[in-house]
Amino acid sequence: MKEQIINTLKALRTYAIEKGYDISLVYHEEDSYLMRFANSAISLNTNEHLIRLEISAHDGRKRASYELITDLDKVDEMKKAIDAAAELVVHAQPLNYQPTLPTYKESFVDESGFDENLAKISNEKRLAFFNEASKGLETEEIRLSGIFSNGATTQAFINTHSEHVLYFKTSDAQISMVLAHTRLKWEVQSEQSAWRKSDLDPGEMHGELSFLLDRYLNDSPQQLPLGNYEIVFGSAAIADMINFMNYIGFNGGLMKRGYSFLKEEQVGKKVFSEKFTLNDDTNAMETFPFKRDFMGKVRDLYPLFTSGVFQGYIYSQDDADEFSVESTSHTVRHFSLVIGKGGKDVDSLQDLVKMPRQNDLLYIPFLHYMNIVNPSKGVITASSRFGALLLKKDGSVVVPFNVRLTQSLLDIFGDKVDWLSKETVPYNTSQSYGSRNPEISHSNSSY
């Protein structure tokens, strides 16, 4: 299949050259499987195989794009799409900058992140995973829902400036399990992601769900008074906040457009806690890394914040072209964001609850309905909804009703940070719909 993909792209490139076109082609293929549960039963079990061809035609400062869903055997259809893109670019309005079309110096093939055993895990094994993770937890009032999504993504790039091809293939899985009380209307949730089958661990999810379920069934519920709290964020909450920082923090193009809470004069200066380090690290296989960006640049470890010090903005090639700056190796569909390890030896929620504490701690595992209040100040807002716990300093546990957090990322990751865990875990922020693009923020282990 790989050879057929590459040969097809080369044939399409030859066709474009013969027609005198200046084009780039992006091949995107996915095998997606989704098993959805609702009310303790399978509500949907589906799969799809899709091939998308994205065509960009260039004419000086003019650029036009055309996309179609196709099949490798439909070469004539793809050639007509190239003709359509070439016709569109004639009528396009010119950009106010000259976009760059790369000249690849060599071909690059990376299948190191692909595990066929995960990509093609069977219906029986998906169901067995859910059964093991929820064993003994369901009752007439406690009902199970969730998803098990897995599959493979293949992406390949070529253009008329070079005969070389960039080729990437990865596998991924995302599992989300929810236990909901049908009468009291609360939920507890556990999630897991993986790039290979050996990373799947239903026992870990069972342990977390069982512990949360026990708390929600047996500890006192309470509406928390308004005020300041010491908060312990779970991996999902941290990952979602880092994902927002990806847009309104260190993205150079958005900064130039006025949508960043960081200023250019802050490069090289401390803006966060010295405990906070964030890298774009393609050595972390759990992040589904692109070892080359789509301009052909090598990607390795790229520091963003080191002990709280801002190292600089990232620029895709298109943003670099528009704002006349040097591009970084970030013309990719997602980054490999990894938070540096801390010093706290806490590996699970159970460990956190048992930990001695001098003050009450509000544990928030997930942030729901997150949105931006003020991008220039880094202010975000979100709801805890379900799964939160108030860990009292006397050792007792309270189940808080839904609370809303509205705070600046500058404060959340600022000097008030007390500790980070020693271990990191992956958290997948991709979606089940749209083109498959597994996207990970590598966040601290639960806290």
- CATH number, domain of 105, equals 3.30.2290.10
pLDDT of the residue at 433: 54
- What is the mean pLDDT of the segment spanning 21-42? 95
> Among residues 218, 239, 270, which one ends one of the domains?
218
90 plus 150 within the same structural domain: yes
Closest CA to 190 of 35, 387, 443: 387
At 209, the amino acid letter reads L
156 plus 14 within the same structural domain: yes
Which residues 6+ apart lie within 8 Å of 218 measured at CB? none
Pair 125, 35: CB distance under 8 Å: no
- What is the mean pLDDT of the segment spanning 268-296? 96
User: Hey, is 127 helix, strand or coil?
Assistant: helix
**What does pTM read for this prediction?**
0.92
201 plus 336 within the same structural domain: no
145 plus 273 within the same structural domain: no
196 plus 245 within the same structural domain: no
359 plus 213 within the same structural domain: no
436 — pLDDT class (breaks 50, 70, 90) = low
pLDDT of the residue at 347: 81
Q: Which residue has the higher pLDDT, 440 or 420?
A: 420
445 — pLDDT class (breaks 50, 70, 90) = very low
Pair 373, 380: CB distance under 8 Å: yes
Provide Rg for the chain, Cα atoms.
24
- Domain count of the chain? 2
> Among residues 218, 244, 267, which one ends one of the domains?
218
Q: What are phi and psi of 359, to 5 degrees?
A: -135, 165
97 plus 237 within the same structural domain: no
190 plus 126 within the same structural domain: yes
Q: Distance between the two ends of the chain, CA-based, in angstroms? A: 42
> Among residues 192, 218, 244, which one ends one of the domains?
218
51 plus 19 within the same structural domain: yes
Q: What is the pLDDT of residues 337-393, one digit of tens each?
A: 999 999 888 888 888 999 888 999 999 999 999 999 999 999 999 999 889 999 999
Domain of 80 in residue numbering reads as: 2-218
- The least confident of 148-157, 181-190, 398-407, 434-443 is 434-443
**Residue 24 corresponds to which tokens in the numbers above?**
């780039």
pLDDT of the residue at 28: 97
167 plus 257 within the same structural domain: no
190 plus 234 within the same structural domain: no
- What is the mean pLDDT of the segment spanning 275-288? 95
At 88, the amino acid letter reads L
Check pLDDT > 90 for residue 409: yes
Average pLDDT along the chain:
93
Q: What is the pLDDT of residues 81-117, one digit of tens each?
A: 999 999 999 999 999 999 999 999 999 999 999 999 9
Closest CA to 272 of 295, 240, 242: 242
208 plus 292 within the same structural domain: no
Closest CA to 100 of 12, 16, 22, 9: 22
